[in-house]
């Protein structure tokens, strides 16, 4: 004798409850953690700033969410939102660079891979730049370089600290040497910021690689990373193929870099705002005593 009976009249039809069809919709309600592979209720995941409540694994967040997380009440004023690349090389690969930019702008609602803004962090005014990894891999082109340089200039003019949150695959190949020039341009700007005795805090997230790591991401007065972030210049596969050696476990992850003196701290995302606030209090206090 069977335990269950199915209405054979229409096996593909949803069951009825009180004479009405029942529809169960679960798509988009759950998310799999990239660390422990557990299924997490997406609302709980979002409220925890994309940090797994079970294992603590940090998933990526977008640039705007990052600003809302770090700034008081999630409020900020955005600058240079209309800056777009001029496509100096007329670059074409599988599609033209102009078409690629247009599609990325539509997908992310951003003009390029950087959001530049000002706001308050624990009551203190700051200039802050947050990179968007979804925009052509968060690559650094002329617009990213110009936005950061202008943010540095505003920080100097207004005597406020600068924070840059990096999430990038490196220099943007579609802009060639123009992209590589941004490394020197931003580094020169950061030198002026240092001469003005204003603090610059660099926050490195997953991933921070290539020319971004080789320039401003590692030039902070304080270099902080999120747990498990991939940080390096060349990728681990490229290094292994070049030196023909197996790399150590955890190589180029933030914890490995901290142990080897390349970072000042690895700070969980939920503690990042408080940590930066304490660091700024220290820098400002030290500057007054100098």
pLDDT digits (tens, 9 = 90+) for 244-260: 999 999 999 999 999 99
Given a cut of 90, is residue 290 above it in pLDDT?
A: no
Residue 16 — very low, low, confident or very high, per pLDDT cuts 50/70/90? Answer: low
Buried b (16+ CB within 10 A) or exposed e, 115-128: bbbbbebeeeebbb
- CA 170 to chain CA mean position, Å: 13
Same-domain status, 51 and 88: no
Same-domain status, 38 and 71: no
Its domain, for residue 103, covers 60-289
Residue with tokens 């968060």: 138
Helix H or strand E segment including 290:
none
Same-domain status, 132 and 243: yes
Burial class (CB in 10 A: 0-12, 13-18, 19+), 154: middle
| Closest by Cα among 280, 254, 256 to 267 | 254
Same-domain status, 211 and 285: yes
With respect to residue 4, please indicate whether it lies within any of the assigned structural domains. Answer: no
With respect to residue 15, please indicate whether it lies within any of the assigned structural domains. Answer: no
User: What's the whole-number mean pLDDT along residues 212-239?
Assistant: 95
User: What's the whole-number mean pLDDT along residues 35-54?
Assistant: 91
Angle at 280 between CA 278 and CA 286, to 5 degrees: 105
With respect to residue 11, please indicate whether it lies within any of the assigned structural domains. Answer: no
Helix H or strand E segment including 103:
helix 97-108
**246: which DSSP letter?**
P
Q: What is the phi/psi pair of residue 115, to 5°?
A: -110, 120
Q: Encoding tokens for residue 56?
A: 């603590």
Contact in structure between 38 and 31 (CB atoms under 8 Å): no
Same-domain status, 276 and 141: yes
With respect to residue 10, please indicate whether it lies within any of the assigned structural domains. Answer: no
Three-class SS of residue 163? strand
Q: Encoding tokens for residue 264?
A: 């000042």
Instruction: Tell me the sheet residues that pair with 128.
Output: 117, 163
For residues 46 and 31, give the distance between their C-alpha atoms in angstroms, rounded to a whole number. Answer: 10
Residue with tokens 């220099």: 171
Three-class SS of residue 75? coil
For residues 230 and 131, give the distance between their C-alpha atoms in angstroms, rounded to a whole number. Answer: 15
Same-domain status, 275 and 213: yes
CATH number at residue 97: 3.90.226.10
Q: Could you say which of 59, 81, 105 is where a domain stops? A: 59
* Number of folded domains that form the chain: 2
Residue 236 — very low, low, confident or very high, per pLDDT cuts 50/70/90? Answer: confident
Other residues' Cβ atoms within 10 Å of the Cβ of residue 61: 21
Predicted TM-score of the model (pTM):
0.89
pLDDT digits (tens, 9 = 90+) for 168-213: 999 999 999 999 999 999 999 999 999 999 999 999 999 999 999 9
Other residues' Cβ atoms within 10 Å of the Cβ of residue 226: 23
Same-domain status, 41 and 146: no
With respect to residue 2, please indicate whether it lies within any of the assigned structural domains. Answer: no
Same-domain status, 187 and 110: yes
Instruction: Tell me the sheet residues that pair with 104.
Output: none
Cα–Cα distances in angstroms (integers) from residue 284 to residues 155, 244, 278, in the given order:
14, 47, 10
- CA 10 to chain CA mean position, Å: 50
Predicted pLDDT of residue 289: 72
Summary mean pLDDT of the chain:
91
Given a cut of 70, is residue 21 above it in pLDDT?
A: no
């Amino acid at each position: 004798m069977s335990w269950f009976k199915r209405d054979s009249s229409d096996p593909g039809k949803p069951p009825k409850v009180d004479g009405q069809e029942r529809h169960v919709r679960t798509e988009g309600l759950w998310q799999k953690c990239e660390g422990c592979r557990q299924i997490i209720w997406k609302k709980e995941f979002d409220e925890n700033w994309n940090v797994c409540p079970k294992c603590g694994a940090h998933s990526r967040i977008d640039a705007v969410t990052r600003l809302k997380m770090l700034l008081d009440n999630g409020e900020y004023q955005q600058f240079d939102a209309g800056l777009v690349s001029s496509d100096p090389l007329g670059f074409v690969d599988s599609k033209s660079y102009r078409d690629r930019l247009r599609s990325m702008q539509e997908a992310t609602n951003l003009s390029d891979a950087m959001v530049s803004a000002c706001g308050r962090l624990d009551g203190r005014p700051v200039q802050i730049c947050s990179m968007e990894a979804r925009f052509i891999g968060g690559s650094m082109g002329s617009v990213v370089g110009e936005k950061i340089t202008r943010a540095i200039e505003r920080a100097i003019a207004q005597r406020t600290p600068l924070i840059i949150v990096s999430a990038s695959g490196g220099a943007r190949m579609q802009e060639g040497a123009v992209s590589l020039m941004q490394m020197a341009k931003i580094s020169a700007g950061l030198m002026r910021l240092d001469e003005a005795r204003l603090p610059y805090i660099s926050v490195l997230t997953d991933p921070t690689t290539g020319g971004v790591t080789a320039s401003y991401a590692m030039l902070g007065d304080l270099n902080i990373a999120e747990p498990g972030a991939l940080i390096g210049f060349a990728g681990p596969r490229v290094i292994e193929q070049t030196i023909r050696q197996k790399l150590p476990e955890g190589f180029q992850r933030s914890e490995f870099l901290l142990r080897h003196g390349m970072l000042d701290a690895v700070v969980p995302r939920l503690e990042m705002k408080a940590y930066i606030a304490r660091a700024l209090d220290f820098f400002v206090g030290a500057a007054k005593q100098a």
